[in-house]
Amino acid sequence: MSKILHYYILSDSVGDTALKVARSALAQFPEARTKLHRHNFVNDTDALNDILQEAAALDGLVFITIADNQLAKYVERFCIETGLICYNLIQPFVLEIQRRLEVEPSEIAGAQHELSDAYFKRIEAIEFCIQYDDGRDPSGMDEAEIIIIGISRTGKTPLSMYLGTLGYKVLNIPLIPENEPPVELFKTDKKKIIGLTNDPYTINRLRETRMIEYGMDSGTRYASIKRVEEELNFADELYRQLDCPVINVVDRSIEESATIILDIMNMPVRYN
């Protein structure tokens, strides 16, 4: 397969909705050779025309999110005239919603811009997640919306930070057999607690990598499969005691684990 698929992301705003759709579709073709052409904040027909001409010449696949009605119409005409295939990933849905609700759309590009209150809340959540990362301070448990526990290298930190960027206050606690978990864990609302687990071999590989990065011998006790299994047993026992849901993060993306957590906790969707 030698053909390159050129794909265009064209938006009068950031364009990440269109990008997400294009990448979801392209993910079905892991072997495909593709080239991304991304153009954000396009807001006049001249700029649009240049990009579309190039796309047509390269037989590109065009994904657009253009909220401005005039610009969208311009693209539509161009495509009819040239046979370019172009998916508008906002207009058709906006028109259908408009028909149903009988209200006019704002047509403001990137109407997703956050109100300052939402922005403040996200900042606060991210700062919370950093402050209470890695068991730094168990006293935040009551304020936390989600408490993630797990042994080293089960992905507590990345998951917490990702949830933080979505606006959730997450505190995470590392589990170590030699240390008693903080007493606050047994006093807080159990519904907020999520246990992470992972395949022992994956954890072991992650630990070996970490040891090498630290310039240490990868054959330490920390990175031995026997030790990992011992720690996982300790964690399982605690999860049973706390009666908390457990997520196995093996082969899951950060987004996927995050979605599962929000589903389990029946949390509203915030920013996405």
Binders of a second copy among residues 35 to 54 (CB under 8 A) are 36, 38, 40
List strand residue ranges (DSSP E) for the chain, in order.
4-11, 33-39, 61-65, 86-88, 146-150, 170-174, 193-197, 246-248
Shortest separation between residue 224's beta carbon and a second copy, angstroms: 20
Radius of gyration of the chain (CA): 24
The residue (of 30 and 215) whose beta carbon lies closer to a second copy is 30
**Is residue 154 part of an annotated ligand binding site?**
yes
Binding segment for a second copy among 48-56, 139-147, 238-246, 252-260 (CB under 8 A)? 252-260
Cβ distance 155 to 256 under 8 Å? Answer: no
The residue (of 4 and 225) whose beta carbon lies closer to a second copy is 4
**Is residue 220 part of an annotated ligand binding site?**
no
Cβ distance 174 to 147 under 8 Å? Answer: no
Tell me the β-bridge partners of 64: 10, 88
Show the binding pattern over residues 51-80: x = contacts a second copy (CB under 8 A), - = does not.
Answer: --------x-x-x-x-x-------------
Residue 183 binds a second copy, judged by CB under 8 A: no
Residue 108 binds a second copy, judged by CB under 8 A: yes
Dihedral sign (CA 30, 36, 42, 44): negative
CA–CA distance from 195 to each of 161, 238, 249 (Å)? 16, 9, 10
Residue 236 binds a second copy, judged by CB under 8 A: no
How many residues line the site for a second copy (CB under 8 A)?
Answer: 83
Dihedral sign (CA 220, 226, 227, 232): positive
For residue 3, give both structure tokens: 């053909």
Q: Say how many residues make up the chain.
A: 272
Shortest separation between residue 53's beta carbon and a second copy, angstroms: 19
**Is residue 140 part of an annotated ligand binding site?**
no
Binding segment for a second copy among 20-28, 179-187, 229-237, 239-247 (CB under 8 A)? 20-28
For residue 270, give both structure tokens: 């915030």
Residue 142 binds a second copy, judged by CB under 8 A: no
Shortest separation between residue 138's beta carbon and a second copy, angstroms: 18
Residue 121 binds a second copy, judged by CB under 8 A: no
Binders of a second copy among residues 200 to 219 (CB under 8 A) are 202, 206, 209
Q: Which residue ranges are tagged as binding site for ADP?
A: 150-157
